[in-house]
Amino acid sequence: MAASVDELRSLAEALLRQRGVPADGARLQADLLIEAELRGHPSHGLQRLPRLIARIGNGVASATARGRHTWRGDAVLEVDGERGLGPVVITAAIDALAERVEQTGVVLAAIANANHIGMLAPYAEAAAERGLIAILLSTSEALVHPHGGTRAMLGTNPIAVAVPTAGHPFVLDLATSTVSMGKVHHHALRGEPLPEGWAVDAAGRATTDAEAAKSGAIAPFGGAKGYGLGLAIELIVAALTGANLAPDIRGTLDAEHVANKGDVVILVEPAAAPGLAARISAYLDAVRASPPADPDHPVAIPGDGMRARREAAHRRGIDVPPRLLAELRELEAA
């Protein structure tokens, strides 16, 4: 049964405020979890909330920190997240960047010591709606094996890109793994086998057994190239933030450890060429209208599906597993 978006948002906000999160921070964190639900990524949605609340209780997440800002050069913002909530810390950083970008044209934030920022797309999209090109990178616990390897050595290391157009911004948000570990857990829960090539088990053997894959590793997307991209993101984030590398990263999937991954945001002002945004929109429409391989499936632009899911979910509400909803309501009563 679908729950109303407003009701879920209020519930999430109330839970966070009860744990000492100020109203605006609670709103940002709740929004981010709801946005992931709306966009069809429940692995980054409300199921993360009970753990986040436990993290605040355990002192590894701060209810109030917004991050300490130090400019390293005129255009690089070094952010010590002070264990703050991911969306709170990154939003404060992006606001500081957006103010500075008018002077420098390009700005970069290197964020360490913040909690999980969640899905990257909403931040990138919001920046593009302000007229900026946005690139976001983030690291995580080791979950992905190298191409030709069998042990989890890399994070799922997502990249998001948003570019302003004459209409909706172009928004890309992808993990550099074939699938998320959340999806593997989802298959395990339902007793469904995994497609071949998704994962290996703890001994490093290729497996379609979702339960066995949970303690194994996920394949990088796109073979050697996707692996290379994931590794590049791993290194860029570590080199810019001083944060840990995947095998030493903790704190986005547990309730006990300080989150020691890193996040990077790059914002750039587009060229002032006249008609540029309209030219980009016309190009994207031409790609959409180009001949599909299967006449029943027109060519899609990244973000189109997400936008459609988001609009439908706003109308229909969000399907939250009854057990999760009960857990959240119990936490509220506690």
Q: Which of 36, 53, 120, 266 is close enough to bind its own copies by CB under 8 A?
A: 266
Question: Is residue 265 part of the contact set for its own copies (CB under 8 A)?
Answer: no
Q: How far apart are CA 253 and CA 51, in angstroms?
A: 8
Q: Which of 166, 235, 312, 326 is close enough to bind its own copies by CB under 8 A?
A: 235
Closer CB to its own copies, 273 or 333, in the complex: 273
Q: How far apart are CA 210 and CA 216, in angstroms?
A: 10
Closer CB to its own copies, 258 or 280, in the complex: 280
In sequence order, the β-bridge partners of residue 171 are: 162
Question: Is residue 79 part of the contact set for its own copies (CB under 8 A)?
Answer: no
What are φ and ψ of residue 8, in 5° steps?
Answer: -65, -40
User: Per residue in 66-84, is it b (16+ CB within 10 Å) or e — as a string?
Assistant: bbeeeeeeebbbbbbbebb
Give kind and range of the element (H or E) at residue 138.
strand 133-138
Closer CB to its own copies, 92 or 249, in the complex: 249
Total of chain residues touching its own copies, rule CB under 8 A: 82
In this chain, which stretch among 26-34, 45-53, 298-306, 321-329 interacts with its own copies, using CB under 8 A? 298-306
Minimum distance, C-beta of residue 243 to its own copies, in the bound complex (Å): 9
Q: How far apart are CA 179 and CA 49, in angstroms?
A: 22
**Three-class SS state of 177:** strand
Question: Is residue 182 part of the contact set for its own copies (CB under 8 A)?
Answer: no
Return the closest-CA partner of residue 65 out of 91, 88, 95, 40.
Answer: 88
| Residue at 268: amino acid letter | V
In this chain, which stretch among 4-12, 54-62, 82-90, 275-283 interacts with its own copies, using CB under 8 A? 275-283
Minimum distance, C-beta of residue 188 to its own copies, in the bound complex (Å): 23
In the window 245-264, what residues touch its own copies (CB under 8 A)?
245, 247
In this chain, which stretch among 60-68, 253-261, 268-276, 326-334 interacts with its own copies, using CB under 8 A? 268-276
Closer CB to its own copies, 60 or 107, in the complex: 107
In this chain, which stretch among 7-15, 24-32, 46-54, 300-308 interacts with its own copies, using CB under 8 A? 300-308
Q: Is the distance from CB of 145 to CB of 218 less than 8 angstroms?
A: yes
Q: How far apart are CA 222 and CA 244, in angstroms?
A: 25
Question: Is residue 302 part of the contact set for its own copies (CB under 8 A)?
Answer: yes
Q: Which of 38, 117, 136, 231 is close enough to bind its own copies by CB under 8 A?
A: 231
Q: How far apart are CA 65 and CA 84, in angstroms?
A: 5
